[in-house]
Chains A and B, each alone.
Chain A
Amino acid sequence: MRSGTPLFPEAASTIAPRVDALYLFLVGLTAFMTILIAALVVIFMVKYKRRDPNSIGARIHGGMALEIIWSIIPLFIVLGIFVWATGLFFDIARPPAETMNIYATGKQWMWKFQHLDGQREINELHVPVGRKVKMIMTSEDVIHDLYVPAFRVKADVIPGRYSHIWFEATKAGEYHLFCAEYCGTQHSGMIGKVVVMEPDDFQAWLSGGVQEGSLASAGSKLFQDLACNTCHRPDAQGRGPVLQNLFGKTVTLASGENVVVDEAYIRESILTPSQKVTAGFQPVMPTFQWLVSEEGILQLIEYVKSLKTDMPVSAVRPNTGGPAPNENTPAQTLPTRN
């Protein structure tokens, strides 16, 4: 963050210079066209100023050639810009294959971040220089929007689904973090800062502070607490599908449809389990709608992601026993809203 009066934002991500290049090109085009148009208007106003009150203009109806020229040339110019801008957009929208994931939850009026290693932050986000970071984001109430001007990225954070942004920071420093989608009374207070650190400093930061255990282990604990493990067993003997190695795979549903197991599908399966039942299983799973928070779901997702066959489920089981799993199925009737 800077003092004084900057006229151009800092560029602190790999994508930022490319956005700036397009911006500066368009500024140049706008300046050129505006000056051209303004000059013509002024010149014609002066040159053809009415001197005799009874004079009239020349009889000119139009010119087909001119019309075609000034339709076609702008058309090609804007289509060129379209190609340039769309290529850029795809690179902004499509995260690279290997990313460091951070989960974000927006709520009126704060940002909550969870690192995979378990660090949690509020309104402050620490990321290292030179790593590709992907934010997996959802909202607990209304639509928010995570916006980091220095990185030139933003995306709406929508309740009920996951959206993403990704960036690779290039410069250590502190940058603004805004909520860019109007979200109510303290919208302008839903701000924070992104702290970009050198990799070593970041490692030090990660290992410092209160160690709460990794996100996956928190998810694992929740998995036990909610008694998910009674059905989702690693040995294919449970009433629910095996979750090991499941993430990213395509599964066939009872309806015959195929779905990719992604964050949204896991979330849906936790909240409305009967909607998309995997083929070969009974729709016996109760909803966990009112039992687990958005952050808890993110932990469960990360836990499912962490399940690989070479790492048996017991390996991440926390040593705390936790409360006895509740045997009763959770309430089935939904409270009505009003």
Chain B
Amino acid sequence: MSNAASVAHDEQQHHPRLAHHFESLEQQTDSSLFGMWIFLATEILFFGGALMAYMIYRRWYPDAFALASSHIAILPGAINTAVLIISSLTMALAVHAAQTGERGKILFFIVVTMILGAAFLGIKGYEYYEKYAEGFIPGLGLEFRFPEPEYAKNAQIFFSIYFVLTGLHALHMIVGLGLMTWMFIWVKDGVIDTQYYAPIEIVGLYWHFVDIVWIFLFPLLYLIGRHVHHG
């Protein structure tokens, strides 16, 4: 077992970030990465609950869902998908730079990732505004104006799920930007070094997870029924 192995391990140097209750930095890193993965497991089930609502209602109301989906413009969604994938790449490169100890590169890639994240949120905000202008907000006391009134009721469910899922996703992005700001400061202050870069790796895991969520949301929300309705 890992703990048994790590006890005998490096007594020689005592890293300043090694917490008192760990035997070695390796045990500490292992534990924190493992903890992050468990947290991501909870995130899977968190989004999974909303996904289940989506599945059930889509099966109940396939036509309304396909129609409602075809009223969402693909282009901003596709651009956002690309933006997120690029940001995932830059995040991975930031971790890579942390492993090799190139501090300037870490800072550069974190900043690029943050810019891309902000761009994603900007485009998302624009999309939300469009939904508002078109009358696709299924609540807030606003009038829901769906072009095909006979599907209006069930289209409200689609847009409710759309806003819940994309809203939660955007919220995760905002948290991610916060975490990255924190990492930026830590790198700048020299807290992070080639021994101790688990925090950057953890933020990276988080960011990639948010990317994965979007990889599923894009086809599920934007692309269903495109082949039937060319909206």
Contact = CB atoms under 8 A, between A and B. Distances in A.
In the complex they form, do A and B come into direct contact, defined as C-beta atoms under 8 angstroms apart?
Answer: yes
Nearest to A331: B149
A333 B142 CA distance: 13
Contacts of B139: 336-338
Given A255-B63, A275-B61, A334 B144 contact: yes
A275 B63 contact: yes
A313 B173 CA distance: 63
A255 B63 CA distance: 9
A159 to B, nearest CB: 14
Contact of B145 (A273, A274, A287, A333): A333
Interface in A49-107: none
Interface in A233-276: 255, 272-275
B63 A334 contact: no
Given A272-B153, A274-B151, A275-B150, A336 B143 contact: yes
A333 B149 CA distance: 6
A336 B150 contact: no
10 contacts: A255-B63, A272-B150, A275-B150, A287-B150, A332-B149, A333-B149, A336-B138, A336-B143, A338-B139, A338-B140
A275 B151 CA distance: 7
B152 interface: yes
B141 interface: yes
Nearest to B142: A336
Contacts of B61: 275
Nearest to B150: A274
Interface of A: 255, 272-275, 283, 287, 332-334, 336-338
Contacts of A283: 150
A12 B158 CA distance: 47
9 pairs of A and B residues whose beta carbons are closest in the complex: A274-B150, A338-B141, A332-B149, A336-B144, A336-B143, A334-B152, A333-B149, A334-B153, A283-B150
Interface residues of B, number: 17
Interface string B52-72: 000000000101100000000
Contacts, number: 34
Interface in B142-177: 142-145, 149-154
A283 B149 CA distance: 12
B38 to A, nearest CB: 31
Given A272-B154, A283-B150, 9 more contacts: A273-B150, A275-B61, A275-B154, A332-B149, A334-B144, A334-B153, A336-B138, A338-B139, A338-B141
Given A255-B63, A275-B61, A275-B63, A336 B141 contact: yes
Contacts of B143: 333, 336
A296 to B, nearest CB: 19
Contacts of B64: 275
Contacts of A275: 61, 63-64, 150-151, 154
User: Interface centre among A274, A336, A337, by most B CB within 10 Å?
Assistant: A336
Nearest to B135: A336
Nearest to A276: B63
Interface string B103-144: 000000000000000000000000000000000001111111
A164 to B, nearest CB: 21
A333 B150 CA distance: 9
Nearest to B140: A338
Nearest to B61: A275
A332 B144 CA distance: 12
A275 B65 CA distance: 12
User: Interface centre among B61, B64, B141, B150, by most A CB within 10 Å?
Assistant: B150
Nearest to A255: B63
A283 B67 CA distance: 16
B225 to A, nearest CB: 13
Contacts of B140: 338
Contacts of A336: 138-139, 141-144
A265 to B, nearest CB: 14
Nearest to B145: A333
B96 to A, nearest CB: 50
Nearest to B60: A275
Contacts of B142: 336
Interface string B180-193: 00000000000000
A204 to B, nearest CB: 46
Contacts of A273: 150
A275 B143 CA distance: 22
